Amino acid sequence: MNQERVKELLQEALQENESLYLIDLQFLAENKIKVIVDGDSGVPLSECIRISRNIEHNLDREEEDFSLEVTTPDIAQPLTVKRQYKKNINRILKVKTATEEFEGTLTEVTENTITLFWKAREPKPIGKGKHTVEKTKTLAYQDIKEAKVKIIF
């Protein structure tokens, strides 16, 4: 399997729609190619088909037989690319660092950090009972071990 040729064809297909970006490209056993793409505002099925055809129609099955799968990321999978964070602003994320876990609404995404917001019940500083406090946490990408979008039904 000419992996460089597949990568070139994939890049050509992605350049036709600048809102799309590559999440993962895998060359698996038995010449199976798996492409995972995402988009700033989602990926229509027609775009997966277009990308698949761009790759498939430019490779010769006579030379080498292969299977090709073009898909979008599974919602249960962690975010892996910075652009995925931008598309998930105002959604609830579960974020793990080496020492802590946070769950909050993603409110801001910068070049190097993300910011989460949540409300928590904490003991009152004076007296009995609890009160609600608003919290924010800014995390650097390099400190994030795993970040997943919380699925709410």
Q: Per residue in 90-113, pLDDT tens? A: 999 999 999 999 999 999 999 999
Q: pTM surpassing 0.75?
A: yes
- Single out the residue of 75, 85, 87 nearest to residue 116, CA to CA: 85
Q: Is there a contact between 9 and 58 (Cβ–Cβ < 8 Å)?
A: yes
Question: How far is residue 114's CA from residue 2's CA, in Å, rounded to a whole number?
Answer: 38
Percent with pLDDT over 90 in the chain = 78
Q: Per residue in 10-57, pLDDT tens? A: 999 999 999 999 999 999 998 899 999 999 988 999 999 999 999 999
Average pLDDT, the chain: 93
